[in-house]
Structure 1
Amino acid sequence: MILVYTHKITPRVRYIFKHIFTRILSVEIDFTTKVEEFVAFNGPKLSYTNVALGSEFFIKSTDLLFQQGVSDVEISVSVWEDVPCFFFQGTKSTIPYDIFSASFYLITRYEEHLPHIKDQHGRYTADQSLAYINGFLEKPVVDIWAYKLKKALKERFPDYDYQERTYKYISTIDVDNAFAYKHKSVIRSIGGLLKDLYKFNIFNVIDRLAVRFNLRKDPFNTFQELINLKNTYNVRTIFFFLIGDYTTFDTNVSASKSKFRLLIKDMVDYARVGLHPSYYTMDNIDKLKEEKQRLEGITNMPIFRSRQHYLRFSLPSTYQQLIDLEIKEDYSMGYASHSGFRASTCTPFYFYDLDFEIQTPLKIFPFALMDTTLNDYMKLTPKQSLGKINELKREVKRVNGTFITLFHNESLSNYLRWKGWRRVYESMLKIATS
C-alpha cells in the first residue's frame, strides 16, 4: 500500500487517485490528512498538496481537484519527456506536472461540460478537443503519465512489490442493419427498389431481388462469420442491437419480425449482447426505457450494456439517464470522425458526475477506432486501415490497457462500399490478439 497525504480529501481526489493507482497501476492506496500520521508511516508514501512537508515524494497540486462545479480552466500544453502534458508545477515537485488534475480534466470530459459548438447530430466534435488541438488524440496519455509516475515511484521505493496488469482486447459490433434486404416491410422494400431503379443502380436491383427470392444470402447477414472468428481467435465480442422504431436515422429491421428476434436470441447464446439506443434517445429517457425493455423481452435477461447510435450523447444528461435505467456499462466514448482516445485513456473508468460531484456506478469503456471512421471519414484503404489499427494497438499494448474496436456486421459483407473489409476485420483480430 502507498499512503497519500493531501490537505483535503475531496471526491475528485479520491476518484482520480483510485483510477490511476488502482485501475492502471494495480497499486493499493490510502489517504490521510494528518501530517503526524504521514510522517510516522514507514512504507512508501507521497504527498499531494501545495507545499512539500519535507523531502518526501511530492507532487504539487493545482486547485482543480479541490474545487466544485465547472469553470473555465487555463491550460497550456507542453512536453514532458516526449509526451504532451499540462498543469506544469515546476521542478520542486518530484513529478513536474500535476498529472492527477490533468487526468481528471481529460477523463471527466471536463471540456465537454463547457460551452461548445455541436455538429449536425448534436455531438461534441473532436476538433474542439484539447487532445486533437495539441496532437495527442491517438495517445492514451493518462495511462502513459501513470506509467511515468510508476517509474519514478520505483526509483524512490525499489523494494515495493509492483504488480503488472495485463493487456486486453474487446471486439464490439454495432447492428444498425441486421439485413440489407431481407425481412424489411413491403413498403420499405418497394421504396428501396424504386430508389435503385431511379438511380440506375442495376446491380443493387439484381441483388435485392435475388435476396428477396432466396436465391442469394443477404449480404449483411455476417453473424455466423463473426461468431466463427470470435471462436477462432478467442475474442471477447459484444453485439449492440438497434431495436428502436423506424426513423430517418434508425433503419434496422423491425423488432417485431420473428427472424430478427431469433437472431438476437441466437447471439445471446454465443456472445454478449447490449442495447444500441436509437437516434432520438439522447434526450428522451422514456424512449430509452422502452427500447431497453423491448430488448430484455427478446433476450429474457437484464440488459446492462449500451452504446448510443451515431455515438450521440450529451454530458452529463445522457449518462445520467443510463444510470437511472440501471445500465452499468457504456461503450459510446469515442469520436465518429477521428480514431483515438476521446477520454485520453485506454482503461475503463467510472463516470464522474460533475453536477453532483460523485463517482457513479456507470463504467465507461472507451473505444479506439471504428470501421466507418477509417472508411468514410478518414478515407483510408483497407491496407492503410490495418496500419492505423496496428499503431493504435501498439499504443494500448505499451501500457497494458484495454484495446476496444467498433465494427458493424455490414462491414464484413464485402458489399458495395465495404469491399475488402472482411479481411480487415479478421486481420485486426490477428493484430489485436498477437
Structure 2
Amino acid sequence: MSGDWVPDGHDFALCLTHDVDRPYKTYQSLFYAVSRRDPSQLLDLAPGRRPYWTFPDLLSFEREQGVRSAFYVLDEQSLFRDRPPREWFTREGWQLYAGRYDIEDEPIRDLLAQLRAGGWEVGLHGSYEAVDDRAMLHEEKRHLESVLGESVVGGRQHYLRLERPATWEHYRAIGLDYDTTLGDPYEYGFTDGYQPFRPFDDEFVVFPLTVMESALPDPGEAFDRAWAALESLLSEAAANRAVMTVLWHPRHFSRDHPGYDRLYRRLVTTALERDAWVGPPGELYALQESTAVTADD
C-alpha cells in the first residue's frame, strides 16, 4: 500500500474537519456575561437567537471555494436526563453534558440532510464515555446512521480522548475505516508524522490531527501570530508532501471567538493557491483505496 497519500497534481493535502459539539448557545451566555463583563451576552438567550448555528456561512464559504469538509456529529448524554443527580451541580457535569443537542431534533435532521445532499462528509463524534466502550460506540454509530440515512466511514472522539490501541480496535470492529482523534488540544504540529498510517497493517487508517483552532495564538488578540503559525504548517506540509488535518469547531465562527472565522478562510484559500488537495478525510481515504486497487490490478 502506498505511503504517499497526496493525490497526483497536488503538492500536499489539507483535510478539513469540524466537531459539532454545541450548535446552540445556552449557559455560555451567562458565563460570558460575567467573565467578560458583557451584559449583551444575555441577549443570546432570547427565543430565536442561535449565534452558534454558524453552518449557513460556513457551508456557503466552502461551497464558493469548491471544497468540502467533514462534520463529526455527537450523540452525547444529557446532563439532566442521563446523568446522576450528583453531577447536576458540578462544573465537570455542566462542561461535559450540559447544552448538548439531540440528533433527532428537526434542525439537526435538516442540517444532516443538507450536508449529505451537498457532498459534505458526516462522521461519528464518539461521546466522552464511549472512548473504551465498543457497545456504546456501536449504538452511537447506528443511531447516527439511522438519522442520516447512510453509513458513516470515520470519526473522532470527543475531547480527543483516545485509548491506544483499544479505541482504534473498537472503531475497526464497528465498521469505521478511519479515526482522526490522535492529536493534542494544546499543541500543534506534525508530531505524529506527515502521513496517515495503518496501526494494524490493514485497511483501517489513522489521520493524525495537525492543529485544532484553540491551540493557536488567539487570532482575536494576535491575528498575525496565529496566521504565522498556520502559514508555517502549510509550508512544512508542502515541503514534506504531507497530509495536514485541521479541526475548527463551528462555534468558533461566532462573535464569541473573533478572528477564527477569518483565520479559517485564509487557511483554505491559501492552501488552494499553493496547489493543495483540500477536502474531508473520508474522500482522501477513498481516493487512496481506489489508487491501491488500481495499482494491484
Q: How high is the TM-score relative to the length of structure 1?
A: 0.54
Which residue of structure 2 aligns with residue 372 of structure 1?
Answer: 214
What secondary structure, in the 3-state scheme, does the structure 2 residue paired with 1:219 have?
A: coil
State the partner residue of 1:180.
25
Gap runs ≥5 in structure 2: 80-92, 274-297
Provide, for residues 79-113 of structure 1, a one-character-per-residue CA deviation record: whole Å limited to 9, x for no partner: xxxxxxxxxxxxxxxxxxxxxxxxxxxxxxxxxxx
Q: Does 1:241 align with 2:73?
A: yes
Per-residue deviation at 1:420?
Answer: 2.0
Q: 1:281 to 1:252 in 2, by over 3 A?
A: same
Say if 1:329 and 1:362, in contact at 8 Å, map to a contact too: yes
Q: Which residue of 2 aligns with 1:227?
A: 59
State which structure, 1 or 2, has the greater radius of gyration over its C-alpha atoms. 1
| Alignment deviations for residues 145-167 of structure 1 (CA, whole Å, 9 cap, x no partner) | xxxxxxxxxxxxxxxxxx98742
Matching residue of 2:272: 433
User: Matches of residues 128-277 of structure 1 in structure 2 within 5 Å?
Assistant: 166-181=11-26, 202-209=39-46, 212=47, 214=48, 216=49, 218-247=50-79, 248=93, 249-250=96-97, 251-270=99-118, 271-277=120-126
Paired residue type of 1:238: A
1:173 counterpart SS class: strand
| Structure 1 residues 23 and 194: CA distance shift in structure 2, 3 A | closer
Distance 1:361 1:403 in 2: 20
Offset at 1:294? 1.0
Matched-pair contact (CA < 8 Å) for 1:170–1:236: no
How far 1:234 sits from its partner (Å)? 2.1
> Which residue is 1:126 aligned to?
none
Structure 1 residue runs of 5 or longer lacking an equivalent are 1-17, 27-162, 182-190, 353-358
**How many pairs align?**
254
Asked whether the equivalents of residues 197 and 205 of structure 1 are also in contact (C-alpha less than 8 Å), the reply is yes
Matched, 1:412 2:257: no
Q: CA deviation at 1:403?
A: 2.0
The CA deviation at 1:298 is 0.8
1:235: Cα distance to partner?
A: 2.3
Distance 1:346 1:196, change over 3 A: closer
Higher RCO (C-alpha under 8 Å, 6+ residues apart): 2
Say what the alpha-carbon RMSD is for the aligned residues: 2.7
Task: Give how far 1:402 is off.
Answer: 1.7
Structure 1 residue ranges, 4+ long, deviating more than 6 angstroms after superposition: 191-200
Question: Could you tell me whether the CA contact under 8 Å between 2:29 and 2:44 is conserved in 1?
Answer: no
SS in 1 for 2:195: coil
Q: Is the 8 A contact 1:347 1:402 kept in 2?
A: yes
Mapping for residues 92-131 of structure 1, pairs under 5 Å = none
Cα distance in 1 between the residues matched to 2:206 and 2:259: 31
Q: Which residue of 1 aligns with 2:85?
A: none
Aligned mates of 2:222, 2:127 — CA distance in 1: 29
SS at match of 2:42: helix
Distance 1:380 1:340 in 2: 21
* 8 Å contact from structure 1 (residues 414, 422) kept in 2: no
* Matched-pair contact (CA < 8 Å) for 1:368–1:403: yes
Change (3 A) 1:227 1:385: same
Q: 1:422 maps to which residue? A: 261
Q: TM-score, normalised by structure 2?
A: 0.77
Higher helix share: 2
**TM-fit CA distance, 1:242:** 1.1
- Contact 2:155/2:179 (CA < 8 Å) preserved in 1? yes
1:334 and 1:341 in contact (8 A); partners too? no
Aligned-pair identity (%):
23
